[in-house]
Structure 1
Amino acid sequence: MKAIIYTSVGGSDVLELTELPVPEPGPGEVRVRVTISGVNATDWKCRQFGHVRGELLYPVVVPHHDGSGVIDAVGVGVDPARAGQRVWLWDAAWRRPGGTAAEYVVVPQRQAVPLPPDVSYEIGASVGLPAVAAHACLLAGRDAPDRLGPGALAGRRVLVVGGTGTLGHAAIQLAVWSGAEVVATASSPDQERRVRAAGAQHVVDYRAATAAADVRAVAAAGVDLIVQVAASAYAETDLEVLATGGTVAVYATEGRGQVTLPTAVLMGRNVRYQFVLGTTLPPAAKDVAVGDVAAAVGAGALDVGDASGLPLLRFPLERTRDAHDAVQAGSAGKVLVDVATF
């Protein structure tokens, strides 16, 4: 099978297209013929900085956690009826050498989630890690519900900073699906169009001098939850717009990733910070997230493409280097690698 691999850490030039044996599913596993592979920031960071202390966990790595395709073989203990099922994939490369940047991938059956017949492979390859991490962010608040779904966040105000990114986009859509009132940030007319297309009811420019006042104009008592992409850059503004007892859920680092906070102010207002990394969430939390994300996908609440505010940037498998570079450069949209056509 054709596959993208790397055998050492480094820039995108360490990625190479090669031929590998088609893997066989073991007990409890399924093999998926990959249609589309989704690329996330985690993928290029693992490639460039290694898995643990600058080292790779495996001598040969096929990258990418997310994807979509069709199950074509099952292992012992898996219902044979799953063969031929359309699925979306998550965590394919987490603590495993083989990700979705290949014509075939083998994963535990729980990581191949049925994709409804009316849902595109593009959506399937785009949810995965961004939606699972967004789910964790949205449930990080005080007195949060156990699950997301219609009405679960009713009466809550959520501020999504970085709503044009893949996780921010998923956070907006999941929050709106769950009944929250969503404020999203934008710093250009195109960004405003995109976050409104995702479902945000209010938009503010978080870089403006009036940002805090603009948020307070639509949430006088402050927002209950901030889904934050740049915690150190916006720490001061976050505290100005966060309600007493509110939560900042941080899912990314920027610059040196150092956040300086006024301890006494945080204590006095009972504010909490929750840092979120989708791949290291506890298995039980991942299962809950995947279940809720699958429900949102089935309900049509998670969508991608320009009309929904998340343009798609597509590359063929042999241009996976370019796909990694696009994600690393902060491309506006979801980066996908086309692996096969059914």
Structure 2
Amino acid sequence: MKAIVYTQHGGTDVLTLAERPVPEPGPGEVRVRVRVSGVNPTDWKTRRGLTATGEQVEQVPNQDGSGVVDAVGEGVDPARVGERVWLWLAAHGRPNGGTAQEYVVLPERHAVALPDNASYELGAALGVPALTAHRCLTVADGGPARLAPGALDGRTVLVAGGAGAVGNAAIQLARWAGATVVATVSGPRKAALAKAAGAHHVVNYRDQDAAQQIRAVAPDGVGIVVEVSPAVNAGLDVAVAAPNAVVAFYANNGGDTVTLPVRASMSPNLRWQGVLLYTVPEEALAHAVADVSAAVADGALRVGEEAGLPLHRYPLDKTADAHAAVEGNAVGKVLVEVSAD
């Protein structure tokens, strides 16, 4: 089978197309014929060694994907063969488990049933973005710990970077759960995408009166902030936060150092909550997988220009170009088309 591999950290030039034997599933595992592989910032950061620890070994990149179960190991229901699935954290702790290959073996819980009405492109776009968004939306004091229709009724959510993959998922999940959603963006093109995703209100965070615009639609403040750039947006977040709000930050866009106004954060009991999918508690991960699956089944999660998430497709042998696109901040979702039916 064909696979993309790298044996040292570095730029996209370390990615090579190789022939590897088709792996066999062990106990509790499934083998999936990968249709589409999703590329996330965590994938190129791991490739560059920015998030890696320990000795470098041969690695297949990409955490997310979709495909069809074509074999199962001992202890797995044989009825899963032929099941359409979406994959999450495929490569975490498994150097050969990335989705940039024609067949991948992974624990069966990491291959989740994909409804017939959901495309493989959608399946490959879930994983890291949707599970991260779910975590950000479920860490507020007073809950909810789960998302479902009505779970966020009466709450206002601010999504920073509403045109990004996590931002897009956060908007759609928050809308599905009943929240009023405000998104911040940097310009008209991204504003249109955030609106297409379902944001009720969109604000350019570069506007001098951005805080006033947000307060105009959320006079009591915002209860949950899904934050991609705390170094840039900390002042705005504090200005619009409601009492006992949470700022859930999942990335360091704009810098690693954040200056927080201490008194302005103390007075409303504002909480700053870091979110990294690899260290999210297991129970919370299980809830996220179940809730994201429910949202997909309800048709609440979508991809494509009309859903605010343009798709950029590359063939397997151009995975390096796909990584370069994500590293270059391509707007939308970058996908690698691995195999056809």
So what's the TM-score if we normalise by structure 2? 0.98
* 2:253 matched residue in structure 1: 254
Compute the displacement of 1:323 (Å). 0.3
In 1, the alpha carbon distance for the partners of 2:50 and 2:312 equals 25
Mapping for residues 116-265 of structure 1, pairs under 5 Å: 116-265=115-264
Structure 1 residue aligned with 2:79, among 78, 81, 87?
A: 81
Decide which moves more: 183-192 or 212-221.
183-192
> 1:105-120 residue pairs with structure 2 within 5 A?
105-120=104-119
Aligned residues: 340
8 A Cα contact 2:235 2:261, kept in partner:
no
- Cα separation, 1, equivalents of 2:279 and 2:43: 14
Partner SS state of residue 231, structure 2: coil
Q: Which residue type is aligned with residue 86 of structure 1? A: R
Q: Distance in 2 between matches of 1:323 and 1:332?
A: 12
Tell me the SS of whatever aligns to 2:263: helix
- Deviation for aligned residue 1:128: 0.7
Structure 1, residues 36-75: CA drift from partner, whole Å, max 9, x if none?
A: 000000000000025534x45x521001110000000000
- Cα offsets for 1:66-120 (capped at 9, x unmatched): 0000000000000000001000000100010121000000010001000111110
Secondary structure at the counterpart of residue 193 of structure 1: helix
Distance 1:38 1:158 in 2: 26
Counterpart-to-counterpart distance in 2, 1:298 and 1:338: 23
Match of 1:90 in 2: 88
1:279 shift after superposition: 2.1
In structure 2, C-alpha distance between the alignment counterparts of 1:255 and 1:8, rounded to whole Å: 27
1:32-111 equivalences under 5 Å are: 32-49=32-49, 51-53=51-53, 55-56=54-55, 59-97=57-95, 98-111=97-110
Query: Is 2:282 aligned against 1:289?
Result: no
Give the aligned CA root-mean-square deviation in angstroms: 1.0
1:7 aligns with 7
- Aligned-residue sequence identity (percent) comes to 56
CA distance in 2, matches of 1:212, 1:311: 28
Deviations 1:291-342 (A, max 9, x none): 0000001110000001111000000000000000100110011000000011
Tell me how far apart the structure 2 counterparts of residues 186 and 263 of structure 1 sit (CA, whole Å).
26
Paired letter, 1:92:
A
Shift of 1:193: 1.4
- How many Å separate the matches in 2 of 1:17 and 1:186? 37
User: Secondary structure of 1:269's match?
Assistant: coil
2:290 aligned counterpart, secondary structure: helix
Aligned partner of 2:340 in structure 1 is 341
SS at 2:100 equivalent: coil
Partners of 1:314 and 1:335 within 8 A in 2: yes
Dislocated runs of 4+, deviation >3 Å: 50-53
- The code of the aligned residue for 2:287 comes to V
Q: 1:174 and 1:255 mapped to 2: Cα distance?
A: 25
Counterpart residue type for residue 309 of structure 2: L
Is 2:30–2:105's contact at 8 Å kept on the other side of the alignment? yes
CA contact (8 A) 1:129 1:279 kept: no
1:13-47 Cα deviation digits (max 9, x unpaired): 10000001111100000000000000000000000
Q: Provide the rounded CA distance (Å) in 2 between the counterparts of 1:254 and 1:229.
A: 6
Query: Which deviates further from its counterpart, 169-178 or 138-147?
Result: 138-147
Give a deviation string over 1:246-274, Cα, whole Å, max 9, x none: 11010100244111112232222110011
Deviations 1:164-202 (A, max 9, x none): 000000000000000000001123222121111111111
Report the alpha carbon displacement of residue 140 of structure 1 after superposing the two structures with TM: 1.5
Instruction: Give the aligned partner of residue 26 of structure 2.
Output: 26
How far the C-alpha of 1:214 sits from its partner, in A, is 0.5
Residue 123 of structure 1 aligns to a residue whose secondary structure is helix
Match of 1:329 in 2: 328
Equivalent position SS for 2:335: strand
Are 1:222 and 1:242, in contact at CA under 8 Å, matched by a contact in 2? yes
CA contact 2:159–2:227 (8 Å) conserved in 1: yes
